[in-house]
């Protein structure tokens, strides 16, 4: 199973120009709003027509501008779960699901709908209209409709965006079970990096209509190649930076010199550290030189406590003038905070040389 997409489409003030191949590992499409995620899906589904290029699904040409091929949507075997679900309000759950199967004989259609209702755990809701369903049930009906045609590629456009956190996690797990049994190609659009991390082993990162980075999800999270990827994967502490030596850089926005474990390239623009990777420096082992690397005196400018996590805005090297005077975000577990809060200021905070991110 393989989907190959190499297309270009120019709109009034946006150009989509993407080239990628995916297999059956769920592939996340990550990018800020307006980067071209939905447009990519719409072209694959045949709702939009690219200006040029090719879309090949398992050896079948769905679109080829040079050959004049443009297979109609309903014959593409593409299941599409829209952001807002796009259920037909005047049709019941089973009619919504059966709609795409209009070409099948009645008996076969009913049996396919029954089967999918069972898989997606919608039994008992067959006769309800979308307005009589909860958000989660609507989402599952839309997923059932997308799967009913036995698609070779499943396009999921932010399937959880309308749901609360609890339902999001619950349906996320349910979706993964469903997808584990699905043998086709899945493209999963999301803004949400936690979701991308949990659900998609592979990722394509879109920026301004082009693919800026792609690869294994772990690799992109641990070594983001660009500022955009670093931000999308949740890095909140980013400073402009420049090379000083193979293991040392100047983080100019923070006004500090940082030791870096890996060999630095000559050209890079930024250094970053995840908010949860900051640590209080160990007070012992002062004789061990490496333990003193990247240890800075810091003062808190704002402290935000939530039930299990505390976020502290830190000012490096000086007392903050006001609450907007800070350089770093530090996220620590509540238990660590309880131990830290009575300690005298300034705190000694460590930016681990092996946790520093370096990117362009």
Q: Give the DSSP per-residue string, 136-192.
A: HHHHHHHHHHHHHT--SEEEEESTTTTS-HHHHHHHHHHHHHHHHT--SEEEEEES-
**3-class SS at 182?**
coil
* Pattern 187-226, ligand ATP, x by CB under 6 A: ----x-----------------------------------
Nearer to ligand ATP, 16 or 93 (CB): 16
Stretch that binds ligand ATP, among 9-17, 71-79, 192-200, 210-218 (CB under 6 A): 9-17
| Residue 359, strand partner residues | 270
Contact between 46 and ligand ATP by CB under 6 A: the answer reads: no
12 binds ligand ATP (CB under 6 A): yes
Dist. CA 347–CA 71, nearest whole Å:
64
Q: How far is the CB of 355 from ligand ATP (least distance, A)?
A: 30
Show contacts with ligand ATP in window 255-294 (CB under 6 A). none
**Is 14 near ligand ATP (CB under 6 A)?**
yes
Contact flag: residue 11 with ligand ATP (CB under 6 A): yes
Of these, 33, 284, 306, 342, which contacts ligand ATP (CB under 6 A)? 33
Secondary structure class of 274 (helix, strand, coil): coil
Q: Please tell me the distance from the alpha carbon of residue 232 to that of residue 35, in angstroms, as a whole number.
A: 12
Contact between 39 and ligand ATP (CB under 6 A)?
yes
Q: Is 245 left (phi over 0), alpha (psi -120 to 50) or beta?
A: beta
Q: Does 342 bind ligand ATP (CB under 6 A)?
A: no
Handedness of CA 245, 250, 251, 257 (dihedral sign): positive
Residue 98 interacts with ligand ATP (CB under 6 A): yes or no: no
Residues that bind ligand ATP (CB under 6 A): 11-12, 14, 31, 33-39, 191
């Amino acid at each position: 199973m393989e989907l190959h997409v190499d297309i270009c489409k120019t709109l009034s003030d946006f150009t989509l120009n993407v080239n990628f191949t995916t297999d059956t590992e769920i592939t996340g499409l990550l990018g800020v709003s307006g980067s071209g995620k939905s447009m990519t899906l719409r072209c694959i589904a045949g709702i939009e027509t690219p200006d040029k290029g090719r879309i090949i699904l398992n050896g079948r040409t769905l679109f080829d501008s040079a050959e004049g091929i443009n297979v109609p949507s309903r014959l593409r075997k593409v299941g599409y779960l829209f952001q807002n679900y796009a259920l037909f309000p005047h049709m019941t759950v089973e009619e919504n699901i059966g709609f795409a199967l209009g070409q099948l004989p009645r008996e076969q259609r009913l049996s396919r709908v029954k089967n999918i209702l069972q898989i997606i755990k919608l039994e008992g809701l067959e006769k309800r209209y979308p307005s009589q369903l909860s958000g989660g049930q609507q989402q599952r009906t839309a997923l059932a409709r997308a799967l009913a045609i036995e698609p070779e590629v499943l396009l999921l456009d932010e399937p959880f965006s309308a749901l609360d956190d609890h339902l999001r996690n619950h349906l996320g797990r349910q979706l993964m079970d469903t997808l584990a049994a699905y043998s086709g190609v899945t493209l999963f659009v999301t803004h949400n990096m936690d979701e991308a991390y949990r659900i998609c082993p592979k990722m394509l990162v879109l920026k301004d209509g082009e693919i800026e980075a792609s690869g294994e999800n772990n690799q992109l999270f641990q070594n983001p190649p660009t500022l955009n990827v670093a931000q999308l994967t949740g890095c909140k502490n980013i400073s402009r930076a420049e090379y000083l030596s193979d293991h040392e850089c100047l983080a100019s926005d923070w006004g500090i010199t940082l030791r870096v474990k890996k060999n630095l390239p000559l050209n890079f623009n930024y250094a970053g550290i995840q908010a949860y990777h900051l640590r209080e420096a160990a007070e012992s082992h002062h004789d061990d030189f490496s333990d003193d690397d990247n240890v800075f005196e810091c003062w808190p400018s704002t402290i935000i406590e939530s039930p299990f996590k505390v976020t502290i805005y830190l000012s490096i090297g000086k007392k903050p003038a006001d609450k907007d005077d800070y350089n770093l975000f530090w996220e620590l577990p509540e238990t660590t905070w309880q131990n830290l809060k009575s300690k005298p200021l300034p705190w000694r905070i460590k930016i681990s040389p092996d946790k520093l991110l370096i990117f362009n």
